[in-house]
Chain A
Amino acid sequence: MPEITYRQAINDALAEEIERDENVFVMGEEVAQYNGAYKVTEGLYDRFGEDRIKDTPISEAGFIGMGIGASMLGLRPVMELMFWSFSYVAFDQIVNNAAMVRYMSGGLTHVPIVIRGPANGGTNVGATHSHTPENFMAHTPGLKVVCPATPYDAKGLLKTAIRDNDPVYVMENTLLYGNKGEVPTEEYTIPLGHAQVLREGRDVSLIGHGRSILTALEAAGHLAGEGIEAEVVDLRSLRPLDIDTVLASVARTHRVVLVDENKPFCGVSAQVSHMIQEEAFDELDAPIRRVTSLDAPAIYSDPLEREQLPNPRRIQEAVQQVLEDAPRAAG
């Protein structure tokens, strides 16, 4: 299988879907002639022209709202937010219109829109550009939210998102765009709502999504060196949420550390934690621990931001903590 970058995987998904369905078009700031602020849409403008790849002015509320209206008439817009942080200036459109119109019309209106872009910190750009609003979006009934961590997932989930008849928000990560991974040459899609066990282990479950889960995977590697076998579960999709895969892992390890780039209060991990205690209380040998972003606006200063975000050391410390709470049986 060829290895391609996360960026290329998204680019391929967009190109394939534009070719497949004439209702699919891409719109956003700098997506066309500039070839994408993060080069995700590179080459698409030359290939498909300005009707399918459209540059917008800096008007997120205006063009995202426009995409929602267009989707109501059956188009399948794929709107790029240069950063998901910019969704905040379009919040009414993204949350009120996209998510509520179907409900308030008693099911008469559909909004098959995709909004995608990076939602991450860790890039040394300060608080306003480092938001991770997947918890805000997944909070809203009517919306679907996916957070691919690998090139394979990025392509497969985006293709599914574009074909989905509900609004799907795809949260990518600028720090992952250059990552390489195996992606099949033949066409494939990945259904939403299926978590994936990235690494098996019997001592503790590390559960999370997006880049955080790769950080957890790295921590699991270090832990293995200390004789601790961590299982790593990538949620991939937050809404729908594959809680069954999570619970099955908890039933194997009986210890949980949730890893989440969200802030702790009402973050994704808060919801997952609640569901685990509610549905697998008897399986838990220790309180659930969380490694989230430290609870302050994203700091600019580079080394401190690395500390603020989940990192392998903090994850390893949390694992040590749950193992102290519930020591493994000797031998």
Chain B
Amino acid sequence: MASAVFRAPSLAEAPESVRRLPPFTDLPLFHVRPDCREDWKAARLRKNALGERKANDGRAPIGVEGGIVLRFATGMAEPPIDAPDTEAVAEASRAPINADLSPEAKRDLLATMIRIRRFEERSLRAYQQGHIGGFLHLYIGQESVATGTVSVLGEHDHFITAYRDHGHALAGGMSMDECMAELYGKATGCSRGKGGSMHFFAPERHYWGGHGIVAGQTPLGLGLAFALKYKQIPGCCLCFLGEGAVNQGVFHESLNLASLWSIPVVYIIENNGYSMGTSEARSSRFSDHLASRAEAYDMKWETVVANHIYTVREATERHARHAREHSQPVLLEYKTYRYRGHSVADANSEKYRTKEEIEHYQETMDPITVYRKTLQEEGILDNEQVQAMEKAAKDEAAAAAKFAEKSEFPPVSSITEDVYWESDQPERTSGGRLFF
């Protein structure tokens, strides 16, 4: 049997009503009603003429400068970051938060970054094999940020992020098994197969997700921090967002509220240079640094080259401590880079930037490579240990994929579970129907 192909009807065969184009009419700039009073009509027309004169009063119209017509930027932007901040790394390595770490603890940080990368690579393979559908936003290249920030959190601190959330989950202590199973949509997933890649949660680890709508989590992070302050708990909340989220209104509302009410929220912009396929230069206007927008809200800010975990830990610890001790918000911008596309489905990941740009970062600034070198220079890491870490991470990721594969899909009956707290209890407290 021939495969069924939908054939569009030819226009020639189509009835007259289909072929006829709707009568497009140029709309006037404004509509003067026929019953309009003559003096009103005249006033409206005058106003319009005034507008036209203004555009031609000798000054260059908007979009033209020095006789040159400016075009909207369409080409490649400057690379988001092109050099490590060696001075900051040296300084951060001497800070107590890093200097006081045991060799083992330092190696653990490397192991966590390697685990995140191997998990992401394994999940990519599962996606390509068709085990995972939907969106898959990989964290590869940014590992120093999630690992570094979450590693300095105290017992009363909380964190919440956007949709590129696998790294934060693993850094926060979630297991590869529950994360991979969630990607597979299995009942053993961290959200019982109900959230998927963008919605990992572990409230018991103070990890509040995993949020799919750009900037949607920014007031939630504020609320978590507000609750800490309300309950007089000496903690703070790290709220991560991408640099593409900074142009959402709700983020600005959140910044204002945070500063207005002195809420201990630490906003961390993970600036990887591209909001999907749009470079920072094509999406945000700011002076000097993106994070300096905080000044408009009388809020502290800092921009950090974040490819080295020491700088991430030093800056995060310093600002989180300040947030806790003074109940003050801060806006941090961590310059980082993602190797893969916006999501796996982003086929253009090498079209809005050059291959060289990606390679340059990988060769000179890769968070895992640079930190490995640091530990080797410190004389606390040998090649065997690296290989063991690599192998352990790969094995763990492979085992997680196997676990996910073997796990059951959730039963159909679970579709209506976890909707309401009430309906998940043995007895209802309200009457009537909750589901339709």
Taking Cβ atoms with an 8 Å cutoff, the residues of A that contact B are: 25, 51, 56-57, 59, 61-75, 92-93, 96-97, 101-110, 112, 141-142, 144, 160, 164-166, 191-195, 237, 239-244, 271, 275
Contacts and interface: CB of A to CB of B under 8 A. Distances in A.
B154 interface: no
Contact of A240 (B221, B249, B253, B431): B431
A248 to B, nearest CB: 13
Contacts of B124: none
Contact of B208 (A96, A107, A109): A109
A93 B250 contact: yes
B347 interface: no
A61 B227 CA distance: 17
Contacts of B221: 69
Nearest to A243: B433
Contacts of A243: 432-433
B48 to A, nearest CB: 26
B434 A239 contact: yes
Contacts of B382: none
A62 B329 CA distance: 15
B238 to A, nearest CB: 13
A59 B436 contact: no
B417 interface: yes
B80 interface: no
A92 B216 contact: yes
A175 B254 CA distance: 33
Contacts of B416: 141
A107 B230 contact: no
Contact of B432 (A92, A109, A110, A193): A193
Contacts of A69: 160, 208, 219-227
B180 to A, nearest CB: 15
5 contacts: A65-B254, A104-B194, A106-B189, A141-B416, A239-B434
Interface stretch (B57-65, B195-203, B351-359): B195-203
A161 B338 CA distance: 45
Task: Across the A-B interface, give the 10 residue pairs with the lowest CB-CB distance, nearest first.
Answer: A69-B223, A65-B219, A62-B253, A193-B432, A106-B192, A105-B201, A107-B418, A240-B432, A69-B220, A73-B227
B190 A166 contact: no
Contacts of B193: 106
B250 A62 contact: yes
A93 B215 CA distance: 10
Contact of A66 (B257, B417, B424): B257
A271 B432 CA distance: 14
A103 B156 CA distance: 25
B432 A96 contact: no
Contacts of B254: 62, 65-66
Given A74-B227, A109-B203, A101 B219 contact: no
A233 to B, nearest CB: 13
B195 A104 contact: yes
Contacts of A112: 421
Contact of B227 (A70, A96, A110): A70
A166 B422 contact: yes
A97 B210 contact: no
Interface in B382-436: 416-422, 424, 429-436
A75 B433 CA distance: 27
Nearest to A164: B422
A165 to B, nearest CB: 4
A191 B230 contact: no
A316 to B, nearest CB: 29
B336 interface: no
B422 A165 contact: yes
Interface in B253-303: 253-254, 256-257, 260
Most buried by B among A92, A93, A108, A144: A108
Nearest to A101: B209
A92 B416 CA distance: 22
A97 B204 CA distance: 19
Contact of A241 (B223, B228, B249, B433): B433
B172 to A, nearest CB: 14
Nearest to B432: A193
Given A104-B209, A240-B432, 14 more contacts: A59-B253, A62-B257, A63-B257, A66-B220, A66-B223, A68-B220, A69-B222, A106-B192, A106-B418, A107-B424, A108-B202, A164-B430, A192-B431, A193-B433
B191 interface: yes
Contact of B224 (A62, A72, A237, A244): A72
B222 A66 contact: yes
A307 B189 CA distance: 54
B433 A106 contact: no
Contacts of B435: 141
A25 B230 contact: yes
B218 interface: yes
B213 interface: yes
Contacts of B191: 104-106, 108
A109 to B, nearest CB: 6
A271 B210 CA distance: 34
A239 to B, nearest CB: 7
A106 B430 contact: no
Contacts of B216: 65, 92-93, 96-97
A68 to B, nearest CB: 6
Nearest to A193: B432
Contacts of A64: 219
Contacts of A104: 191, 194-195, 199, 201, 209-210
A59 B223 contact: no
Contacts of A96: 213, 216
Contacts of B194: 103-106
Given A74-B227, A106-B190, A165-B421, A237 B432 contact: yes
A112 to B, nearest CB: 8
B223 A191 contact: no
Nearest to B202: A108
Contacts of A193: 430-434
A107 B209 CA distance: 13
Nearest to B237: A69
A219 to B, nearest CB: 25
B168 to A, nearest CB: 14
A144 B420 CA distance: 9
B420 A191 contact: no
Contacts of B231: 73-75
A166 B222 contact: no
Given A62-B256, A166-B422, A72 B213 contact: no
B432 A192 contact: yes
B134 to A, nearest CB: 13
A103 B434 CA distance: 15
Contacts of A75: 227, 230-231
Nearest to B200: A105
Contacts of B220: 65-66, 68-69, 72, 97
